[in-house]
Amino acid sequence: MIEVWGKRGGFVRAVCVLSVALVCVMGTVQATHSHPENSTTSHHTCSICATAHAGLSTATVASAPVLITAALAILVAEVSVIFRPVTTQFIRPPPAF
C-alpha cells in the first residue's frame, strides 16, 4: 500500500483532496441554504433546491450481442528465476516446505 502512494504524483493527490473537499462543501451548502420569506411558493427558481429533486436516469440500454470472442492474452510458457541472495547470517531458519 505504501508503494502505491509513493508512485503517485503530487498533482494527482491534490486533485483527489480538492475533489473530496468540493463534495463536502457542496453537501454542506445544499443542506444549510435558506430562502427569504417570499420564496415559499412552489414555483421559485433555485438551482440548489432543484438538485434535491433531480433523479438519476435509470433507463436501460440494449447493446448488440457479441458473436465472436477474442483472446485477451496469449499464454506463453515462462520460467521465472527465483532470486535468493547467499547470506550467512540468518536470524531464523527458513520455513519448511
What's the pTM?
Answer: 0.42
Residue 11 cell numbers, joined? 498533482
pLDDT of residue 15: 93
Helices within 33-80 (DSSP H only): 47-53
* Degrees, nearest 5: CA angle 56-57-60: 140
3-class SS at 57? coil
State the 10-residue block means of pLDDT for the chain, 97 residues long.
62 92 91 74 72 72 78 70 68 76
pLDDT of residue 1: 46
